[in-house]
Structure 1
């Protein structure tokens, strides 16, 4: 589940487990005061702060999330497939493909950063087993 506040509005999002590169997602607008209370009383330190940029490339709109705070230095880009077999062109500015790398699911990134007591670099996340960072979920 995700609680999000942006531009004076708030949303609660419920996501299913992944099935390959996709998952079900349901989003509901909620009162901002409810969202603030959920973030404060339920989420604790598991709050991720990001700035989202929308970038058009080859007919797709990529969502580029630049994180700050405990995920400072992490930038993730994604777009919604129209169907599971969709062929698409990766932009030249994309780094390593991490769709199937569980270390790059936000839940795992947050946990790994909390365990390390500091933000982790992309290199540390990619090479975590060599750095002594656990990848178990």
Structure 2
């Protein structure tokens, strides 16, 4: 499956009142090689193993494969992950026909809030809420795999 998404910095916490769902997420990386990142994620009471390929030239599209796995297995896999496990809360906000996923980071990435929107095609238009800031889609520093090795607090 090809994932198409845009990433933005978030200007303030006003998005929280519009959230219809939120989950605490813990995730680690078995591989942060850009050509194939391999992630283990526990999200609420579910967990997943995800493999992502290299992004295209726009930074918006890349192959993504994901499979739900038992939580106890995910916890064991997290112990094998590279240093720098990500801890965050994901808020989901519906605006028109789109869902914005807004991640508020903790620990070594505290202070960082990033919003993502998945699109059906790269040129698709969408309404931007007033809390949405600068687009950082092409900036690899805002990839979770990068943040796990180069925490936001150390920039």
- TM-score range with shorter-chain normalisation? 0.7 to 0.9
Q: Would you say how many aligned residue pairs link Structure 1 and Structure 2? A: 116
1:1-137 equivalence runs, <5 A: 1-19=38-56, 20=58, 21-40=60-79, 42-113=80-151, 119-120=153-154, 124=155
Conservation of the 8 A alpha-carbon contact between 2:47 and 2:68: yes
Q: Tell me, which stretches of 5 or more residues in structure 2 are unaligned?
A: 1-37
After TM superposition, the runs of 4+ consecutive aligned structure 1 residues lying more than 3 A away are none
Where structure 1 has 5 or more consecutive residues not aligned to the other structure, the ranges are 125-137
Q: Normalising by structure 1, what TM-score?
A: 0.76
Contact kept in structure 1, 2:83 and 2:148, CA below 8 Å:
no
Secondary structure of the residue that 1:86 maps to in structure 2?
A: coil
Higher share of residues assigned strand: 2
**Residue 44 of structure 1: how far off its partner (Å):** 4.4
CA RMSD of aligned residues (A): 1.7
Larger radius of gyration: 1
CA 1:84–1:44 in structure 2 vs 1: closer, same or farther (change >3 Å)?
A: closer
Larger RCO (CA within 8 A; separation ≥ 6): 2
By percentage of residues, which structure has more helix? 1
